Amino acid sequence: MRKRPVGTVTFLFTDMEGSTRAWEAHPAETQVALKRHDDIMAREIEARDGVIVLERGEGDSVFAVFARATDAVAAAWEIQRALRAQSWPAHVSMRVRMAIHTGEAGADYRGPHVNRAARLRSIAHGEQILLSGVTAGIVRGGLPNGSSLVDLGQHRLRDVAETEHVFQLAHPELRSDFPPLKSLSNFRQNLPVQLSSFVGRERERQNVRALFDSKRVITLVGSGGCGKTRLAIQVGADLLEQFPDGVRFVDLAPLTDASVVIEAIAAAVGVKSEQGVATIDALIRDLEGTRTLIILDNCEHVIQACAEAVLGLLRSGEGVRVLATSRQPLGLAGEVNSRVPSLSMPESTASSSSSIARRRRDRASP
């Protein structure tokens, strides 16, 4: 068994686009296709001294690590070539998206560089190979024959503080006609930039996202400082593709006058006041027929005004949803309240923290 590289390593993250739908509609064909997919992945990754981290892959996704960035890029290129050369079952489209990023890692392969690689993969499209700016700088002189790098510019990644300079691996044998990347930069949104990674809350995130399939108003309820705002921002980022007309964040904390709640919402949505037209009516008119998520943050000190505003917003149509954060519910019919407890440290984070502390003690020992 090949030894896992540590130190400065390069991560290759892949997954199959549309695999959930394929499994549900054509399970037998999908199983056959994924067996062939797995064989190709293993062959090409191992041929270039890469290691597949089995315990970190999920379903059709692959988590591979390389000691050399050029090997990771060569493996990705060969995998895409091999996948394109196959004849796949009629109802299974084998479109695999890939991301490559280089950074420091220990044997457990946890930390910010792994997170960045995963977030980079999430903005790619099927058959696309994306490289981070770091990796692009390393491999520029050692690309597969006939390959080049396409500069896709700076992009905001979900739950990553700094923007990422993203490149696409191009070759005449690879697909090149992709839609815009699915990064925060390419969606209609005004979510605040976060200065640290989002940790934990996975169950709460999933629950809130699922509620929006059938509910229109969800309020995250909890004590001050428990993490309601951060959770709401993360859920908003998770739902960007479901709300193509916008995810709009409204910070109500600075307001001292409840009468300007509607104006604050209008400003976030981009609706200008019109003479002789009530602001709520202008908002409703602008939002009609759209799929828009409005996040009202810190409602508790203007709770009644928020409740009235939400009632007005809901008149815009079924596509408009509201996610509120408050120390108390809005008190609306049909509102779903999701309690947000104080954040406890996830087991993996606790383990990582203990490991860091232990290494510091070891370095301090004579």
What pLDDT does residue 129 have? 97
Q: Is the pLDDT of residue 55 over 80?
A: no
Query: If pLDDT is split at 50, 70 and 90, which confidence band does 85 have?
Result: very high
- 355 is a domain residue: no
pLDDT > 90 in the chain, percent: 64
Q: What is the number of domains present in the chain?
A: 2
Based on the domain organization, do 160 and 208 belong to the same domain? no
What pLDDT does residue 104 have? 93
- 33 is a domain residue: yes
Identify the CATH number of the domain in which residue 20 sits.
3.30.70.1230
- 20 is a domain residue: yes
Identify the CATH number of the domain in which residue 213 sits.
3.40.50.300
What pLDDT does residue 91 have? 81
DSSP state letters, 318-349: TTEEEEEEESS----TT-EEEE-PPPPPPHHH
Average pLDDT value over all residues in the chain: 88
Query: If pLDDT is split at 50, 70 and 90, which confidence band does 363 have?
Result: very low
Based on the domain organization, do 154 and 209 belong to the same domain? no
- 187 is a domain residue: no
Based on the domain organization, do 12 and 132 belong to the same domain? yes
What pLDDT does residue 364 have? 42
- 188 is a domain residue: no
- 354 is a domain residue: no
What pLDDT does residue 361 have? 44
Contact partners, residue 360, CB within 8 Å, separation at least 6? none
Based on the domain organization, do 82 and 176 belong to the same domain? yes
pLDDT digits (tens, 9 = 90+) for 318-340: 999 999 999 999 999 999 999 99
What pLDDT does residue 3 have? 84
Based on the domain organization, do 171 and 287 belong to the same domain? no
What pLDDT does residue 350 have? 42
Interval 294-322 mean pLDDT: 95
The SS3 call for residue 136 is helix
Which among 343, 269, 264 is positioned nearest to 306, based on CA atoms? Answer: 264
Measured CA to CA in angstroms, residue 190 lies from 143, 233, 252 at distances of: 37, 10, 14
- 267 is a domain residue: yes
Interval 233-259 mean pLDDT: 92
Based on the domain organization, do 166 and 33 belong to the same domain? yes
Based on the domain organization, do 167 and 253 belong to the same domain? no
Interval 299-303 mean pLDDT: 95
pLDDT digits (tens, 9 = 90+) for 7-36: 999 999 999 988 888 888 888 888 989 999
**Where do we find the tokens 């989002």?**
198
Domain boundary among 116, 151, 182: 182
What pLDDT does residue 276 have? 87
Which of 139 and 197 is assigned the larger pLDDT?
139
- 361 is a domain residue: no
What pLDDT does residue 1 have? 62
Q: Is the pLDDT of residue 230 over 70?
A: yes
pLDDT digits (tens, 9 = 90+) for 168-187: 999 999 998 898 888 887 88
Based on the domain organization, do 291 and 216 belong to the same domain? yes
Measured CA to CA in angstroms, residue 103 lies from 13, 42, 109, 160, 179 at distances of: 14, 22, 10, 15, 28
Report the alpha-carbon distance of residue 133 to residue 102 in Å, rounded.
9
**Tokens describing residue 187:** 């969606």
Based on the domain organization, do 32 and 145 belong to the same domain? yes
pLDDT digits (tens, 9 = 90+) for 337-360: 999 988 665 444 444 444 434 443
Based on the domain organization, do 170 and 207 belong to the same domain? no
Based on the domain organization, do 89 and 175 belong to the same domain? yes
Based on the domain organization, do 142 and 251 belong to the same domain? no
Full residue range of the structural domain in which residue 128 is found: 7-182
Query: If pLDDT is split at 50, 70 and 90, which confidence band does 197 have?
Result: low
What pLDDT does residue 196 have? 64
What pLDDT does residue 344 have? 60
**Tokens describing residue 340:** 């947000």
Which range of 27-36, 97-106, 187-196 scores highest in mean pLDDT? It is 97-106
Domain boundary among 127, 151, 182: 182
